[in-house]
Structure 1
Amino acid sequence: MFKHLPSLTSIKAFEASARLKSFKLAAEELNVSPTAISHQIRSLEDALHLKLFLRHTRSVSLTSEGELLADTATRVLRELMLTVNVITETADTLRISTTNSFAAMWLVPNLGDFHNMVPKIDIQIRANDELNNLEADKGIDMVIRYGTFTNQPEAELLINESQGCFATPRYWQDLNKREDWTFLCVKWKNTRLTQQNYQELLEGVVPDNKHFTIRYYNDENQILQAALAGQGIAILSELLVKMPLSQGWLRQGLDEVSNTLTGLDYYCIIPERSRHNQTAFGFLDWLKNRIAC
């Protein structure tokens, strides 16, 4: 069935070279000589009758065929590594830093899916809203951050956030009977984050015959808990309220408000010292697929 596939050794050499964009760095990672890497790549190209790399004086780059193969090779090798960890009962630890809100409202509720796939990986979560110094803090393998994504080499975008208005079914049912609508909004402790002008936004969409009050919190999880208690309409990330929406605890409404809201980005950074950590990249693949669900 698989007799026409290239050898795993050549695929590993190709994947490392493509990811690191260097035969020399690939050789160091795989603990072989650069000559051996070059030989494996050449053998793979000959077997496929394709040119996978463009050789430059001090670097290499992928051809279009090489890019396609690299994406598949990386994904398949990571899945293979995770499966090998499972069947050999090899314990591994992945230390993740993220915001309090993302940890409580999305990551922890979804981790069961990852543990069902890879039960031997120990996920340790450090939740705080301070920016970590990744170079100084050696106890972090991966950071999931919230803010404005910039296309830096070590960062990968997870999702462009969409925001909406969420309240309990009972609150929506009684909304038109209420003279005063209460909105539950975030005021970021992190001054680097863009603050939404909720007062101006709501003045433009709340009916003239209604009054509104804005109650501010500096943590999205507190907003969620207030909304679940029926205290008002939460303005929150659609990503973070997926579970209470699926359970029917909250419903979305006021599309005219949602359509004027702008969100920020969730993105992942794996520091340079962890770029060899295939568990981190395997978790990143799971994270992207789970968020896209």
Structure 2
Amino acid sequence: MSELTAIFADFYGAKSLVAPLNESIQYSIKAGGKRIRPILLLETLQGFGIDILEEHLKVAATVELIHTSSLIHDDLPAMDNDDFRRGKPTNHKIFGEAQAILAGDALLLDPYLLLANVALAPSIVVSLVKELALASGSYGMVAGQVLDMAGENQALTFAQLKQIHALKTGKMLTFPFVAAGIIAEQSDEVISQLRHLGETVGQAFQIRDDILDVTATFAEIGKTPGKDEVADKSTYVKLLGLAGAKAELAENLDSAENILQKISEKATFTSENVLKQIERLRID
């Protein structure tokens, strides 16, 4: 997304920024990726009939920055210990562990500066800040990563596995839908449905990731395959088997489509483009 790239370039273009930190940050945000979180936010906004403005792109950029922060930290030796991300050496392999930690810290905090300066109604900005913090910190992504690490070499139940990924993956995929609803000033009932949609898509996304870890090549996923098995992580494939995980993925995607239909019945909403993004998560 060239528009998103421009937002990043502008935000990190100040000459006053500390060069080594900026270089490390730029390395990871320019590494590519599917940008699925900002895309879902923008597609959902358009579904509500909202024309995309620069301020909306800035909101979309915030969730991608926090996601990038999580990737830098996840790849560190103390966590998932991976040498590659998006087909390139991980941040700590290029800049060292200390610098990678600090780049991840900055990418976790900078989005709030960006969000606080978005030219939307103050009440909307406050709600967006609240949702982003809920998704990323002790009530969301960071907590999920802690549980994920604690679950290594453990025989977790299906419920425990869902809890981990509802926090680690689901919260950051819920934010785009809820944020779009907040910006579009939808009712509490519609925003509740958007939250449910995000949680369901988040589960599907993680199941798909678990499947690809055992079925895809390095070229296809841009990182080392088979890492979950080596680390003895609890995954949907480990718990349900490959066929069971694929069935669970399909069930979650079908549920997401049903939720989209309910949203279309309760609000003026065109779901086609969002549905296309969700359908891309299917594995035949």
Normalised-by-shorter TM-score class: under 0.3
For normalisation by structure 2, the TM-score amounts to 0.24
Q: Could you say which structure has the higher strand fraction? A: 1
Q: Could you say which structure has the higher helix fraction? A: 2
Larger-Rg structure: 1
For normalisation by structure 1, the TM-score amounts to 0.23
